[in-house]
Structure formats: C-alpha cells, structure tokens
Amino acid sequence: MSNRERESFDCIIIGSGPAGYTAAIYLARAERKHILFTGFKPGGQLISTNKVENYPGFPNGVSGYKLMEAFKAQSERFGTKVKDNSVVKINFNIIKNLHEVILDNYLKIKTKALIIATGASPRYLNIENENQLIGKGISTCANCDGFFFKGKKVAVIGGGDKAAEESIYLSNLCKKVYLIIRDKKMKASKIMQKKVLNIKNVEIFYAHKVIKLIGVKKLKAIVCKNRKHNNNSLFKVAAMFLAIGQIPNSLICKPTLKLDKSGYIITKYTITNIPGIFAAGDVQDSRYRQAITSAGSGCMSAIEVEKYLQEKAD
C-alpha cells in the first residue's frame, strides 16, 4: 500500500458484497476519497450462488460470481480502490470525528467515516462431530462442493430459498437429494417451492431435525428426529449441505456499536450509535437479507456518509 493510501480517507468501506460495492459506486461519483477492503470472502455470500434469478435487469438470471464481478468493475470504473485485505480491528474515535482501522497486515489507516458491510456467515447446527466433518461431507455451498458428490445421495438442511436453490442445483448432479426441513412447511418463495416439488430425485421430509452425524474421516449418514411422530430416521448420505440461515459478521464491532440480541448492528437509515459509523447489508438486516436490499442499503449508507461529511465541513 502506497504512502498516499496511508493518509486519512473520507470513508473506508469494509466488505465487498452488494452493499459495499454499491456504497463505493455512490462515493466515487461524489468524488469522495475512499477505499474498499474486500475482507476474507470477496464478493460476499453471493459469490458462491449458482444462479440469481430475482435481481432486476437479468431476465434470464445471472451467476452470483458474474453479478459481483460486474459490481466491482462498475465501482472501479468510477475510481474506487479495491484492496484484498481484511480489517481485523476498528478503533472508534481515536481523535474527535476520526476513526482508525487495522488491517490483517498490521497497517493502520484513519478515516472520517466508515461503512461496515461485512455481511453474514452461514449458520451451523452446533451438534456433536459437526466441526470435525466440515469439509469432509459437510458444506454450506452446493455450487462449490456439489461436484465432489456426483452420482451420490446427499441431504440439504433448511426450508428457505437458499435450501431450495441448493436442492435444485444438486438434483442435476446427485442420485438423490433429501431435503430436510425442521418446520411443517417450506418458507421458500412459491416459485422456488414449485421448482423443487417438480424434481423427481428430490424427496422432502417435513418436521425433521438433524440430531446426529455418523462418520469419522468423512460423513456417512445423518440421523433425524421426526418432530411430529417422535421417531428417528437414518439417512445414508455422502454429504450434507446446510442452508439454515446466517450469523451477522459483527464481532469486530463489539462492544462499541449497539447490536440486537442476534448480533445484527442496530441502525436508523444505516446510521449507527457512533457518529461517522454506518452499516449496510446483511450485517444490519435481519429481515430481508436479499441482494437487492443490500445494494439499496449500500446506496443509503453512502448518501448518509455524504451528508455527514458535509455537515462536519460546514
């Protein structure tokens, strides 16, 4: 990083999902000195989504990877500096109206404003033997790992759009897909439900909860409890794909920023409880959690940053 980049910025953006890149586009067009740090997963969760069908402007759908590459290219065209670093610590208010971030290479950078768009991470079951089997049959990304289980039986855990999408993708690769849903019905959108229900090699089990994982060096089977009849069933599978929600990546914000009981940053119009600190995307959105709403909140955060900087300059 050059000496110029060691200077204070008008705004630093942490995160490279739809929220981060959209904020960058707006800040670049406002000619604000800013920089975006991609974090440990450039492109966010969307980067591993096989096909996005509900983002406006793509009538035939678009892969998550291509969509995020387009976001990045657009922000860079307007002058955004994108760096493949992670922010490991935030020092709030080191000087009045000035904050500091510390990168994974120990470099410290000061900024007048900060947009936290760190997104969220997949939620796990938190049951015995799960950690040992991650990467050995347990995955949170069918698009990433589905190929390794071609022609085999697999399970998808969850009942939302993500679980439906994973099931659809895996049905084209795997011999059998068991869709295990904890509730009595799917929460996925109607169109996604219809797609899943029309696939012959996808079998749905409602009111089932995974209670045991069988396997040492690799996953061999899962045991599920039928919550309706209170009996257990064994599913011999080579892999289990988790799609049971997410956990906001807000640990870096503790204890200074106000978080709700689930760890989401509490905001009002993307404004946090600390002046000059803003949050956008899944890290502050426990309700919608869509690519388009993340992009929208990224726009909002950039506009709020511009207002904040103008007020401080007056």
Q: Of 84, 144, 183, 260, which is the active-site residue? A: 144
Distance CA 127, CA 216 (A): 14
Instruction: Take residue 143 and report the two structure tokens written for it.
Output: 């698009």
Upper half-sphere CA count for residue 292 (Cβ side, 13 Å): 7
Q: How far apart are the first and last CA of the chain?
A: 32
d(Cα 309, Cα 314) in Å, to the nearest integer?
A: 9
The residue whose two tokens read 């990045």 is 72
Which residue out of 10, 145, 161, 285 is catalytically annotated? 145
C-alpha Rg value of the chain to the nearest Å = 21
In 104-227, where do the E strands start and end? Answer: 108-116, 120-122, 138-139, 153-157, 176-180, 202-205, 208-214, 221-226
Strands 231-236 and 202-205: unpaired
- 109 near 136, Cβ under 8 Å? no
Select which of 10, 11, 141, 285 is catalytic: 141
Q: Is 144 a catalytic residue?
A: yes
Nearest-angstrom CA–CA distance, 184 and 108: 50
Burial 35-60 (b: 16+ CB within 10 A, else e): bbbbbebbbbbbbbbbbbeebeeeee
Beta strand residue intervals within 6-50, DSSP E:
9-14, 34-37
List of residues 6+ apart from 236 with CB closer than 8 A = 153, 220, 221
Q: Of 172, 9, 147, 164, whose CA–CA distance to 80 is shortest?
A: 9
Judged on CB neighbours under 10 Å (0-12, 13-18, 19+), 229 is exposed
Euclidean distance between CA atoms 128 and 37, whole angstroms: 35
Instruction: Kindly list the catalytic residues.
Output: 141, 144-145
